[in-house]
Amino acid sequence: MREWMVSFTNMTSNFAGVPLAFAFIIILGFNGSLTLLLKQWGIIDSFNVYGIQGLMLIYTYFQIPLGILLLFPAFSALKPEWEEAAFTMGASRLEYWRRVAIPVMLPALLGTLTILFANAMGAYASAYALTVGNYNLVTIRIGQLVVGDIFFQPNMAAALSVLLIVILSFVTAVYRFLLRRSYHAA
């Protein structure tokens, strides 16, 4: 089961960019097969894959598998003896997770969240292909300023790029700090 899960999450986390956006458009676009089916069954009235709903769905699609892959080592750090010891001392499953597992995994969880944030901040192709630049994401804005369809402002694009680098450098520093504190890195 574990090997299948690793293979599946690896495949889905690497299926991103323009092909992912087109797959979502084919399945969930205005005349997408799943959209038409859900409308026919009365489950949804309207769904716009080209808007914020589609962006949230596509980001969730490629972020969750990546998060799972990043958390596998943290789950491996949990020793069965700790769970047995907690149960022997009268702890419930919830108490085990609250008092043992989550504190051990917290640095890895926070580190994974920072990496997912950095991944989301840098995503360009999926978001642009899905929204055609209609949403003001930092990476899309940088691309628009460089291409110059409306305004050619390479200096503003450079400033936004530096700001993005500063933010992502900070996120990377936080991740490195959390990784050093994590149990599985010790």
The chain-wide mean pLDDT, for the chain, equals 85
CA atoms in the 13 A half-sphere facing the CB of 65: 17
Widest pairwise Cα distance in the chain: 67
Q: What is the mean pLDDT of residues 85-93?
A: 92
Number of compact structural domains in the chain: 1
pLDDT at position 186, please?
43
pLDDT at position 145, please?
85
pLDDT at position 163, please?
92
Look up the CATH number of the domain holding residue 175.
1.10.3720.10
pLDDT at position 86, please?
92
pLDDT at position 94, please?
93
Judged against a pLDDT cut of 80, whether residue 103 lies above it is answered with: yes
User: Per-residue pLDDT tens for 133-147?
Assistant: 778 888 888 888 888
User: Per-residue pLDDT tens for 110-119?
Assistant: 888 888 988 8
Q: What is the mean pLDDT of residues 76-91?
A: 91
pLDDT tier, 99 (very low <50, low <70, confident <90, very high otherwise): very high
pLDDT at position 185, please?
44
Q: What is the pTM of this model?
A: 0.76
| Segments forming the whole domain that contains residue 108 | 2-185
State how far the alpha carbon of 167 is from the alpha carbons of 127, 157, 171, in Å.
19, 15, 6
